[in-house]
Amino acid sequence: MNLFELPLLRASAKATFTRCTVIVTGANSGIGKATAAGIVKLQGRVIMACRDLRRAEEAAREILQETGSDRSQLIVKQLDLASLTSVHTFCRDIIKPNVIKKFSIFINDLANLKCV
Ligand SMILES: NC(=O)c1ccc[n+]([C@@H]2O[C@H](COP(=O)([O-])OP(=O)(O)OC[C@H]3O[C@@H](n4cnc5c(N)ncnc54)[C@H](OP(=O)(O)O)[C@@H]3O)[C@@H](O)[C@H]2O)c1
């Protein structure tokens, strides 16, 4: 998928996400990855909330390569939405002062999450 094919990102091509921190779940593949890439391209900062850190780091490298953006715009954090423990850990982790002071947008890419 071309990372910038999403209509929302095309429509907002003149807008920027400067000073915005956006949390994107499932940001290591598919729509979540394309969304993360579009936001960093528009100068936003993205917290990639992914359940597999290895895949997330790989996706972050690809996004930075493709967009030419700055590494500081992408923060990779572990989050398994099927685990409340993981959700709590993620929340505690991102509110640490050296991570973010506040976030502007939460994009939950997982519409059909099944908990077992
Ligand atoms: N693609 C379409 O045309 C389309 C159309 C309509 C709706 N949707 C919906 O849009 C969403 C994303 O679609 P997609 O095509 O981008 O799917 P995808 O490429 O399979 O991406 C799904 C992402 O969600 C992550 N994920 C799955 N379970 C998770 C969990 N428990 N905790 C955290 N992350 C988890 C996956 O991580 P892993 O890599 O670790 O598995 C992956 O990064 C889905 O809900 C899909 O049903 C897609």
Domain-located, residue 82 = yes
pLDDT, tens digit only, all 116 positions of the chain: 555 565 555 555 567 888 889 999 999 999 999 999 999 999 999 999 999 999 999 999 999 999 999 999 999 999 999 999 999 999 999 887 666 777 788 999 875 666 55
Q: What is the pLDDT of residue 16?
A: 84
Residue with the smallest CA separation from ligand 1 atom 15 is 30
Give me the pLDDT at residue 100, please.
Answer: 73
pTM (predicted TM-score): 0.87
Asked whether residue 11 is domain-assigned, the answer is yes
Considering the domain boundaries, does residue 35 fall inside one? yes
DSSP type of residue 111: T
Its domain, for residue 100, covers 7-107
Cβ 24 vs Cβ 107: under 8 Å: yes
Residue 70 lies in a domain: yes
> In angstroms, what is the span from residue 110 Cα to ligand 1's centroid?
5
> Measured between alpha carbons, how far is 105 from 82 in angstroms, rounded to an integer?
21
Tell whether 112 is covered by a domain. no
In a domain, 2, yes or no: no
Which residues' Cβ are closer than 6 Å to ligand 1?
25-26, 28-32, 50-52, 55, 79-82, 109-113
Domain count, the chain: 1
Domain containing residue 95: CATH number = 3.40.50.720
Pocket test for ligand 1, best of 8, 23, 110 (most atoms within 8 A of CB): 110
